[in-house]
Structures are given as C-alpha cells and as structure tokens.
Structure 1
Amino acid sequence: MGIELLGFQTTIASPVTLKGIGVHSGAEVSITFHPAEADAGIVFQRIQANGRVSEYKAVSSQVGNTDLCTVLGMSPATSIATIEHVMAAIYALGLDNLTIEVHGAEMPIMDGSSEPFIDAIELVGVRALAVKRRYIRIVKPVRIESGASWSEFTPYDGMRFEVEIEFDCPLIGRQSWKGDMTPSVFKRELSRARTFGFMRDVERLWAAGFALGSSLENSVVISDDNAVINVEGLRYTDEFVRHKTLDAVGDLSLAGAPFIGCYRSYRGGHKMNANALKALLSDPTAYEVVETATPRQRTRARDMVAVAVPGFAPWSA
C-alpha cells in the first residue's frame, strides 16, 4: 500500500493521537489523525483555546512562510507550522485523505524524523476508498536555478528522487541520495533521518525566538569543530542528505497529488523545492493529470492547486 501507483484513494482505519513539543515554540502540542472521505484531501485544523478552528488544506496555495519550516497560513495567531515531516510520512505511505486536528501552533517534532508518524499510521492501518486516485505525470523537463543551486522535474515511469547537497563543513561535504520512492524505501532509507543544524546558529535562533524546543533528542547538532554532539552519533552515515530528501518528499506533497516522474535537486531546500513545483504547475504543457486505471486519460488541470512561494533558511526542520 502506498505510492507504488495503486489505483484507489486511501485514508486511515481509525483515529490516532500523538503528543510532543514544538521544535520552535518549545510548547507541548497534541495532534490527532482522523479518517476522511474520498476527495477530502489532507486537511489541518488548529483548535484554539477559545474553541475557534483554523482550517487549511495541505496544498501549496496555503503555505505562508518557510523561513525555518513549512507553515500553513499567513497569521501566526492561526497558522500551523512544521508540517513537513508529517506530510512526508503521509505522502510516502500513500494516504490521500485525512483530517489532522492540532492543539498547538505547530506539529510535534518527536525525534526530528518521520518515523514516529509512520509508526502511528501503521498502528491503526490504512484502508482503501472506492474512488480512483489522480496523479501528476511529468511529460517534459522543468528546471529552475538560483545561483549554484538548481532543481528539476523530468519524465520517469515511477516516483524518483535524486537529491544532492554540499556544505562547507568537512563532516557533511557533498552527499547524494537517489532512489525510486516506495513505502518500504521511505521507511527503510529515509524515515529515521533527523533534522540537523549547527551549534553556531543555536544562540542566534534562540534570541530570535526559534528552536526553543530543539534538543539532542530531536536534532543532529554539529559542533564548531565539525563533530556530531549527539552521543549516539548518526543513524545513517549520510543522514544529512537523507533528511534533505525526506524534506523534499514533504515539500512536494503540497502539489495536491502524487507525481509520476523524477525530481532532482542540487543544494536545494524548502524554497527551491517549492519554486520547482510552482514552475511545474505553472506550465500546463509540462504535466498531465491522470488516473492509474487509465494512465493516459487527462483530467481537468484546473482541479490542481496553484503553488505559493515560500522562503528558506539554513536550519532544516
């Protein structure tokens, strides 16, 4: 079950709740995944203390800011932050329809990866719905560049990611991850990769009111002498690029449908991912919307969602 091009939409079999802290706010937060009907999509609901509900569909047109994480909504009073690790898990497992009830301003960071969200979803199970799934099939290359960074979509029979990073840090250097994305590949090779950052940035972020919940329990931290501070070390020898790939999976989930094609990036991040998606969906000759049962059948392009242009910052949540 999942993004291996199965033909029908899915949801979860029953509700499941997770609790933790927000990596930026440091505040306690709980979220509950609820089943949803076909064509509902992924919907986030922030429940305020006064009972008011702010609701956002997980599509790029709803993205407000991605300075340090991906945020749905424009106002901090009603927005929902740090959705990328949750969305990567949802996307990788092929879930099309969920309502996510949020008591707090951001998603719980858990251990800094997608694994806790994968575990929660698998605990309750996935069920198929009697409505066909739609996909975005890439039919011609679309590429964007920004300085030394670039990213592109190209036609490919499947869903593939090829992500390369390069940091001026001997511990990271130049790393790449390439592979066809399936639920088993995501769980085995990407889901446990944690967010990371540099100790030299921590005091600046704290002073700005960010990363207040960040700790060695939910982040890989690199010291000023280029060593991993975490006692347990890295989960993968190239955990850094694997987390960047995990982020890309979450960022591209905001297209509103899974894509059939290859996504490649070099020195990318949230902004580059979002701008590449915008470039793709802005060119109706570059893609078609299809159902797997009739793969060449074009559906209405206007059913897809326009992409907002988020920002980017070095600390990769």
Structure 2
Amino acid sequence: MIYQRTLKESIRAVGVGLHSGEKVELTLSPAAADSGIVFRRADLPERPTLRVGPELVNDTRLSSTLVKDGVRVATIEHLMSALAGLGIDNVLVDVTASEMPIMDGSAAPFLYLVQQAGVREQKPARKRYIRVLKPVEAIEGDKWVRLLPHEGYKVKLTIEFKHPAFQKAAQTVELDFADTSYIKEIARARTFGFMHEVEYMRAHNLGQGGSMENAIVLDEYKVLNQEGLRFEDEFVRHKVLDAIGDLYILGHPLIAAFEGFKSGHAMNNKLLRALLADPEAWEYASFDNADTAPAAFHRYTPARI
C-alpha cells in the first residue's frame, strides 16, 4: 500500500517576501490524514485557514496566490513544488504575513526544512493520485499548456526569451520522473527577473524583497549574479519547478504528462480548472504497493531521490 505522508515534527524558518518585502515567520507542522495542504495566517485574528485548491488561486501576477474572504497567502509555488517532490500530502503551513518567504528563490530551502522535520507515512490512509484520462488544454494567444494521459509523470516545457543569456542555453527541457531526480535536477533552480522590470514591479508594490540573494537578475546582455547560474538551462528548469508547484495545488499528485509553451501561473491554474471541470477527463487512483505504481512514484512523489 502507498500511504499518505506528513511531517514527523514541526520546523520553523524566517525569511522575507519577494514581492511584499515583509519579514515572514514560517512554520511547517504535521497534519492529519486527508486534511491536505493548509495555509494558516498566524498573524491575523482567528488565524484563518486556506486549504489549497485551484479555485482559491485568485491572483497570478508573478506568483500563485491563494485568496479567500479577503485573506491572502502569496507566492506559494516554491513550497508546493518541494512538497510535491517529497510526496507530502498533509501539512499545516503557518505564516505571519501575506506572502511566503522567498528564501533563495528556489525550492531547495523548503526541501531542506521538510527533510530536517522528517517524513512519516500515515497508515492506513491511502495516498490518492489524480490520473488524467484524456487530453486537456488551455490556450491564450501563443501560450498553451496541456495535460495528456501517461502512466507516470513527465514534464516538457519551452520558454521563449529574446535575450543573449537565454539564447546561449536550451529553452526547452523534457524530464521523465521515472528516471529523473527532482531534488538533483529541478529543486535548486532559482527564479529570475530583468532590471527593466524592477521599476514596473516597484510601482505595483511587487518585487519589494527581491535581490541577487534570492533571484537571478539580468540586464540587457547578461546575468548579473557574480556566482552565475546553477544549471546551464536554469531559467527553463525554474519554470518546470513552478509548474510542478502550480499543478500540486490540486492537492494530489498527477499521473499525466504536462506540456507547456510560455506557460505561467495563470495558464497553469486555468489548466487545472479545465481538468476539474470535465469529470470524464480524470479519476482518482491508489496503489496497493509501490510495484504496481508507475516508476515515477516508487519512492517520492512525483520524483525519486
């Protein structure tokens, strides 16, 4: 039997919000089986909670943001990506501000926190997957994303930036998590931005906490970070990291192939809503043991260490 997973114990970290610039205290705690991934605003009266689901993603400007009854938790995609990578089904996420801490701009610090807290199975609660049964897509101009039936978990993503730093590296990546480690190949890829965007973002109260400590920054010609890139194609790998996090807002791992061209948070959310709107496009699935599950799910979901 493949069982649900939560943390063994609580763990805490402090950081800054990428867009708000606010100091944020983050606490990850174990949660009961079938409770899902729940964000709680510990700084507000009555400590309101938001359980992840595509219907709560109501702001996708530069991040995926949960909004319910005026309560917001922004920039959840990097933590969601890490939880997907380690197969965490149930966790309580306490934050003391309206935005998650950006940490170093990747999912790696969140992976580290989960690994430090430890992971435990929640017997006898069975892990539930969502299996895609027929193609589902979302299209907007020249951007598109789709989910295809596939007995495993694959991601193929293409970005398109007319910039010297991007044109030196691959702008397409295709990964099958049956034989690819999320931790080694995706988790360390950082978010990125351009100097010319800074003025726009600041005018819209975004990017207030951004720096070269938590993002790859580019001018018109090159990467400005002194240490350079962690991967030759770090830009597109970060978009894969984002997509994995956005898709995990379903609350269940996907048995599917995801493909995208110039995708982003808005498109990813539109795709999830299209999937759930068609009851013939998906079904729940569980597995009696790891041997009967697709190889992509043998150890961690959707990846293997």
Tell me whether the two structures share a fold, i.e. TM-score over 0.5: yes
- Equivalent pair of 2:43/2:96 in contact (CA under 8 Å): yes
- 1:211-256 CA-partner distances (Å, limit 9, x unpaired): 01000000101102x2001000111110000000000001001112
The answer to whether the Cα contact below 8 Å between 1:65 and 1:74 also exists between their aligned partners in 2 is no
Instruction: For 1:8, give the aligned amino acid.
Output: Y
What amino acid maps onto 2:195 in structure 1?
M
Distance 1:85 1:156, change over 3 A: same
**Aligned residue type for 1:241:** V
Structure 2 counterpart of 1:81, from 74, 83, 93: 74
The amino acid of 2:39's aligned partner reads F
Where 2:269 maps in the other structure, the secondary structure is helix
Distance 1:106 1:197 in 2: 18
SS at match of 1:218: coil
Deviation at 1:280?
1.4
Per-residue CA shift, 1:131-163, capped at 9, x if unaligned? 101111111111222221111111111111111
Contact 1:54 1:79 in 2 (8 A): no
Sort the Cα spacing of 1:42 and 1:182 in 2 relative to 1 into closer, same or farther, 3 A: farther
Instruction: Give the deviation of 1:164 after TM superposition.
Output: 1.0
Q: Is the 8 A contact 1:111 1:219 kept in 2?
A: yes
Paired with 1:185 and 1:128, the residues of 2 have a C-alpha distance of 21
Conserved 8 A contact 2:55-2:273:
no
In the alignment, residue 181 of structure 2 is paired with which amino acid? V
Aligned to 1:143: 137
Matched, 1:178 2:171: no
Report the equivalent of 1:282: 277
TM-score of the superposed pair, with normalisation by structure 2:
0.90
Q: Mark the runs of 5 or more structure 1 residues left unpaired by the alignment.
A: 1-5, 296-317
Give the aligned residue type for 1:255. Answer: L
Distance 2:262 2:180 in 1: 26
The one of 99, 104, 119 aligned to 1:126: 119
Name the structure 2 match of 1:13: 8
> How far, CA to CA, are the matches of 1:187 and 1:47 in structure 2?
29
Give the C-alpha shift of residue 182 in structure 1. Answer: 6.4
- For 1:201, which of 188, 197, 213 is the aligned residue? 197
TM-score, length-scaled by structure 1? 0.87
The C-alpha deviation readout for 1:83-136, integer Å capped at 9, x for no partner, is 110110011110000011111111110100000000011112100001101111
Deviation at 1:207, TM superposition (A): 2.1
* 1:40-64 superposed Cα distances (whole Å, 9 cap, x missing partner): 1000000225x43121001112212
Q: 1:218 aligns with which of 192, 195, 214?
A: 214
CA contact (8 A) 1:92 1:183 kept: no
CA distance in 1, matches of 2:93, 2:117: 15
CA distance in 1 between partners of 2:69 and 2:184 (Å) = 37
Alpha-carbon distance in structure 1 between the residues aligned to 2:150 and 2:178? 14
Matches of 2:255 and 2:247, distance apart in 1 = 12
Unaligned 5+ segments in structure 2 are 291-305
| RMSD between aligned residues | 1.8
Structural mapping, 1:164-313, within 5 Å: 164-173=158-167, 175-181=171-177, 185-224=181-220, 226-293=221-288
Aligned residues: 287
The equivalent residue for 2:50 is 56
Corresponding residue number in structure 1 for 2:87: 94
8 Å contact from structure 2 (residues 152, 178) kept in 1: no
C-alpha displacement at 1:183, in angstroms? 10
Paired with 2:34 and 2:52, the residues of 1 have a C-alpha distance of: 13
Q: Percent identity?
A: 40
